[in-house]
Amino acid sequence: MSAVEREGAVLFKGNPATLLGPDVKAGDAAPDFKVVDNGLQPVTLATDAGKVRLITVVPSLDTPVCDTMTRRFNLDAANLPDSVVVYTISVDLPFAQKRWCGSAGIDKVQTLSDYQERSFGLNYGLLLKDLKLLARAVYVIDQNDKVAYAEVCSEVTAEPDYTAALEAVKKLV
């Protein structure tokens, strides 16, 4: 079964791009996924069950906007309670993610890689068909695995609404 194609769902550097997978919105049940952490251990929706999950999604940590976004959420994460986990998901290899986090001083955000199965990208409708990278997005998943907030950036190279995402988290804790 092939994934739903959403032509022109986002722009990439001003050009329409096709996303594969459903358009996940606030109020939906959070789709499951299987990604790996920097030690190649699997992480799924159930890994941090019962916690609020702030999931930020980037094409690659080695690009300027992704770097800025992840550093910003790392700073914001320092002010969140332990009942909140912050993930940044990309298709970067786990080894590259670990190296980047070390050089950037990232210690509050857990980087996760969707390089193996692209299940996060496909299940959340974020896989850029032609590039096989993930589109930029932010999700807040509540303690009951429901999507409380969803933002897919209309231009992949643009930053998300940090304030709105953090407000959505604060409403749940």
Q: Among 20, 36, 58, 66, which one carries the catalytic annotation? A: 66
* CB-based contacts of 116, cutoff 8 Å, min separation 6: 34, 35, 36
66 tagged catalytic: yes
Of 123, 158, 113, the closest CA to residue 19 belongs to 123
3-state secondary structure of 85: strand
Q: What is the mean pLDDT of each run of 10 residues along the chain (173 residues)?
A: 88 97 98 97 97 98 95 95 97 96 94 97 97 98 98 97 97 96
Domain boundaries, the chain: 5-170
The encoded tokens of residue 150 equal 């969803």
CATH of domain 5-170: 3.40.30.10
pLDDT at 93: 97
pLDDT at 142: 98
Nearest to 113 by CA among 1, 36, 172, 3: 36
For position 169, what pLDDT does the model report? Answer: 98
Q: CA–CA separation, 59 vs 65, rounded Å?
A: 9
DSSP H or E run through 104: helix 94-104
Are β-strands 127-128 and 147-152 bridged in parallel, bridged antiparallel, or unpaired? Answer: unpaired
- Rounded to two decimals, what is the model's pTM? 0.96
Backbone angle region of 158, left / alpha / beta, with phi > 0 → left and psi within -120 to 50 → alpha: beta
The DSSP call for residue 92 is S
Supply the DSSP string of 40-51, one letter for each residue.
S-EEEGGGGTTS
H-run or E-run covering 16: strand 15-20
Residue 2's pLDDT is 72
> d(Cα 151, Cα 139) in Å, to the nearest integer?
6
Query: How much is the pLDDT for 4?
Result: 94
Q: For position 3, what pLDDT does the model report?
A: 83
